[in-house]
Structure 1
Amino acid sequence: MNYFVRSFIDWIFRRRSAGVTLVKIGVPLFAVVLVGLTVGVTIPTSHGPFIFSWDSAGSTGALSWGVFVIASFIVLLGGLLIIRDIRQESRKKAIVIEARGLRDWQGQPLASAVPSSIPGRREQVIIDLRQGVVDGQIVSPDAAIRRLASLPDDIARRCDGLDRSDISFVLGGLAPVPFLFLLGVIVDDESRTFIMDWDRTQHAWRALADEDDGKRFVVTGLDAANAAVRRVALCVSASYDVLEADVRIVETGVPIIKLELEGRNTSSHWSETKQQQLAQQFLDTVMSLAQQGVTEISLFLAAPASLTLRLGTLYDKRNLPLLEVNQYEQGDPKRFPWAVRMPVAGLPQAELTQR
């Protein structure tokens, strides 16, 4: 039933083709002329019946030829518009990038859930990071980083010869936070990017189509950064809580800046507008730290996959501080046993930091 309703809504609000519409108008006109349709209407009046008749095969030959010419022009124009639309559509490409990195599970591919409103032929790119993963715990993060490192060349090959306006990206994935953030950094936001997320209750990929509830990050601790501070710990709690006691195990003696989402839970991220505003708050905070002289940020991020990807796409590779994104492991006494340094601020490749 859900599939039927979604499909029906997509069909109602589908993009209409002007060429197809013109052909639908022109073909019936051809039928009127070629079939020899006769139309007659009699209307009784006080002065006798009023008769209107038209016979395409009769004495109104000039009118029939006029209709034929008009119908030919409409159909020809419609055909040209259809050819134009097909050529434009053939140039467009939607590169669907899905990161798989939690468990040995195939599931529904992201490409099959991309809405029809996103134009272009689909090209599926699955980045399987599960080599070295045991039930969601990363055993060999360096192997996963190497797989992500090859993605820029793959993207460049797929985009070769295409105009940037004809390319769009669809991102989604179930993977550890550092890898999702790194994927966002690699893809960047220079092309149109659509982000989807996995709904654990519906067991399906979903677009971020809910209403904005107006809840935003509460930012605290910015006053602790000053001209003498070069490194800070940035704690972003968008789903679960990032506990200061856990952060202090690996980051001692550095200021802690917190971004805590009001009313946060694991389902408070399904609005595109809300995510854009949260991402802007994150970016503004990082820019503020950079203006105060901070050169290194250790990011502790508890957020849904879609928001993590979005933050990565917005992080400026040249003008913002060095950034390492920490991986949380509840069963590890260090809590954050490793992190990934992002390829930003002059760092050419992502690097693994083991603790």
Structure 2
Amino acid sequence: MINYFIKSLIDWVFRRCLPGVTLIRVGVPLFGLVLVGLTVGITIPTSQVPFNFSWDTSGSSGALSWGVFARACVIVLLGGWLVVRDIRRESRKKVIVIKARGLRDWQGQPLASAVPSSILGRREQVIIDLRQGIVDGQIVSPEAAVRRISSLPDDIARRCDGLDRSDISFVLGGLAPVPLLFLLGVIVVDESNTVIMDWDRLLRARRGLTVDDDGKRFVVAGLDTLQAGATRVALCVSASYDVLDVDVQITEAVTPIIRMDLEGRGTDTHWSELKQQLAQLFLDTVISLVRKGVTEITLFLAAPASLALRLGMLYDKRNLPRLEVNQYEQADPKRFPWVVRMPVAGVLQPEIVHR
């Protein structure tokens, strides 16, 4: 707590222009004005006669100097009190940093160290280590990984116990298979202030979604031609790589396909917060399917980690259809050998279904 207090104090002084710091910055120069107006006298005793030294540069009255000094003291003390008050208020805030660790057997950069200082609160990192179910990118036991994620709500509830919801923020990130990241988004849900971060492969660092919006959006196809009476559809979302119909039809030969293709898609076109917030189109598309009588969706999603998390957070657990998210394996002849059935629409626990 002492280290956090000192770090917070440094942040307040050097990074944040808030009332307490402003008052201190105003008060300290006033002390300089007082010192300029002081009369200083020094007497040094010697063996012969005392040596006297005096300095008077102001010519102003002592009452005026003391008046300025008193005001400077009040301003600085008030500023210090405001800084301490705000730091104590900030110390009540907690930032729960949730990182999914998978795909590769290496530690990587701690997500908590990449969280911007503008997100106030004590950092508390939660590592969801999925590597017991994943070996160097190969899924060995998806059931084990799902069990790890399923235990997260109890962990979060324990960490949030006794705290006001307004004092809690979440930061999500990590590298893991798309279905597991989507599941993490569904479980966390966007009930509190939530920030999503992603891994920049070029910079080899984690960072926020700070790039300007390029204006490119999803293009939806297949809704108009969906036949009446269809209750199950394959929703193919291509946000980074292409989800190919020929691969989908290996496992969903007779299921109608609805496509959402991001214009100009690639592995590095997702760094805009505004652009990702407009993934609301995904939710709108699902709602349109509900209106057409669809009760079950099998999702084929090719997207960066941050977007997979966000889509999971957007999905309404109670009012939208049952949902399963497919795992792509290029080397597997089935292409999508297993799915995660999400805990939505009456499904209480996530399930793994093998094909």
In which range does the TM-score fall when normalised by the shorter chain?
Answer: 0.7 to 0.9
Partner SS, residue 223 of structure 1: coil
Pairwise CA distance, 1:225: 3.3
Tell me the equivalent position of 1:163.
164
Q: TM-score, normalised by structure 1?
A: 0.88
Distance 1:12 1:200 in 2: 34
CA offsets per residue over residues 44-69 of structure 1, 9 Å max, x none?
A: xxxxxxxxx8445xxx2332332233
Tell me the equivalent position of 2:148.
147
Distance 2:127 2:31 in 1: 50
Unmatched 5+ residue regions in structure 1? 1-9, 39-52
2:240 equivalent to 1:228: no
2:354 equivalent to 1:351: no
How do 1:96-107 residues align onto structure 2 when only pairs under 5 Å count? Answer: 96-107=97-108
Partner SS, residue 17 of structure 2: coil
- Is the 1:341–1:352 contact (alpha carbons within 8 Å) kept by the matching residues of 2? yes
2:122 equivalent to 1:121: yes
- Pair 210,13 (structure 1): closer, same or farther in 2 beyond 3 Å: farther
CA offsets per residue over residues 67-89 of structure 1, 9 Å max, x none?
A: 23322321222122112211111
Distance 1:100 1:283 in 2: 27
Partner SS, residue 15 of structure 2: coil
Pairwise CA distance, 1:307: 0.6
- Is the 1:95–1:167 contact (alpha carbons within 8 Å) kept by the matching residues of 2? yes
Pairwise CA distance, 1:247: 0.8
How do 1:318-333 residues align onto structure 2 when only pairs under 5 Å count? Answer: 318-333=318-333
2:231 equivalent to 1:212: no
- Is the 1:141–1:352 contact (alpha carbons within 8 Å) kept by the matching residues of 2? yes
CA offsets per residue over residues 17-45 of structure 1, 9 Å max, x none?
A: 3212212322342454467536xxxxxxx
Distance 1:55 1:344 in 2: 80
Aligned-pair identity in percent equals 76
RMSD value over aligned CA atoms? 2.1
Pairwise CA distance, 1:129: 0.3
Distance 2:193 2:14 in 1: 21
Q: TM-score, normalised by structure 2?
A: 0.88
Distance 1:15 1:67 in 2: 27
Tell me the equivalent position of 1:79.
80
- Is the 2:185–2:313 contact (alpha carbons within 8 Å) kept by the matching residues of 1? yes
Tell me the equivalent position of 2:239.
238
- Is the 1:236–1:302 contact (alpha carbons within 8 Å) kept by the matching residues of 2? yes
CA offsets per residue over residues 135-167 of structure 1, 9 Å max, x none?
A: 201110000000001101111111111121211
Amino acid at match of 1:288: S
Pairwise CA distance, 1:132: 2.7
CA offsets per residue over residues 117-139 of structure 1, 9 Å max, x none?
A: 21111111111101132220111
Unmatched 5+ residue regions in structure 2? 1-10, 40-56
CA offsets per residue over residues 159-205 of structure 1, 9 Å max, x none?
A: 11112121111111110000000011111111111111111111111
CA offsets per residue over residues 286-316 of structure 1, 9 Å max, x none?
A: 1111122211110000001111111111111
4+ residue stretches of structure 1 with deviation over 4 A?
10-13
